[in-house]
A = this chain, B = another copy of it.
């Protein structure tokens, strides 16, 4: 492990966090606050990729409302929503982010999770001899994400993992145990705040618009958030239709959140639009985006969450919200008692949704963090060794 010599001193470290999507922002918000407030750290926030695009829920406004200053905006998504355009997007990302890093001269760049653009940050940082810190490594799921996540781990110098399981896996991947820190997932920090003040004090439709025939939201509603699964492009329309049909039979209001950009989102989008055109869908309302806080409040008040979002695994473990988790997207991730797993199957989804809707809240489970992940992340970044080179520990 080569430790950068000029890092041993006492000066403030510049921490460049690259946010490429709405869910990533939600997930790290508490860490951003903690970095911003840490006396030994300077936050450089870069907003990139689909986080900048209106149609996937432009997160810029939220970021500014939250009081953060954006150091750079990086447009890098090549339109097309197919495997080739995803690959090229990553290539463009490497080109653009290396310019940003040259300008900002961070001491450490922080990359989040496992989206396909995430690796662009890790590559640009690595080649430019900047320490790379990775939030949320060591988890096991399916799909292309799995390749990307562990490749990012191998490009990273500092690992900020969400659970003890994840820490063990990163170490088994040959990383130096001294550089692997179990901080919990910062997304649970927001969950902890919400749990402390659970009242739904706003009207979601009034505040966030969206489309649908639902006039207002009563007590008994379910929430759906279902992302396309990247390497199963052709199936994404069928997948979304299963969930649409199942939830339309639930007899409760369905608050549906539009997925973020990915190859396959097209099949998903078409499926939703087609369903709306051909069905009455009077109990459905479709949201494009929502602040993470408001979204969690809405979740906490719901009968259950249906779909394949990691929110069901993480935040809902803390919150005790019942979850129907569909398909392979979250497979391999440790889960609490609050989750029922089902296949892309109308009947399975419906049965599980009914069961969860009737169950009521589960007990809170701290497997993904105790509500102080952001503070722990900032502290690690302020005190860890900023290495830029390493060898396998075996």
Contact = CB atoms under 8 A, between A and B. Distances in A.
Interface of A: 2, 50, 52-54, 75-80, 82-88, 90-96, 98-99, 101-103, 116, 119-120, 122-124, 126-129, 140-144, 146-148, 150-155, 169, 172-174, 209, 231, 266, 270, 277, 331-332, 388-392, 394
Contact of A92 (B52, B84, B95, B277): B95
B80 A78 contact: no
A392 B78 contact: no
A71 to B, nearest CB: 11
Q: Which of A54, A98, A270 has the most chain B CB atoms closer than 10 A to its own CB?
A: A98
B391 A142 contact: yes
Nearest to A81: B54
A150 B174 contact: yes
B98 A91 contact: yes
B77 A53 contact: no
14 contacts: A75-B79, A77-B80, A78-B92, A83-B128, A87-B94, A87-B95, A87-B127, A91-B98, A91-B123, A94-B94, A127-B144, A147-B389, A150-B154, A173-B173
B174 A172 contact: yes
A99 B277 CA distance: 37
Nearest to A119: B123
A45 to B, nearest CB: 16
A391 B96 contact: no
Nearest to A91: B94
Contacts of A80: 52-53, 75, 77
Contact of A231 (B91, B99, B389): B389
Given A78-B79, A151-B152, A172-B394, 11 more contacts: A78-B92, A83-B129, A84-B102, A87-B128, A90-B123, A91-B95, A92-B92, A119-B123, A126-B148, A172-B174, A332-B391
A94 B119 CA distance: 12
Contacts of A391: 140-142, 146, 331-332
A362 to B, nearest CB: 27
Q: Which of A79, A143, A146 has the most chain B CB atoms closer than 10 A to its own CB?
A: A79
A279 to B, nearest CB: 15
Contacts of A127: 83-84, 86-87, 90, 116, 144
Contacts of A77: 78-80
Contacts of A124: 87, 91
B92 A93 contact: no
Contacts of A98: 84, 87-88, 91
A270 B55 CA distance: 11
Given A77-B79, A93-B91, A389 B143 contact: yes
Contacts of A83: 127-129
A62 B76 CA distance: 29
A55 to B, nearest CB: 8
A99 B102 contact: no
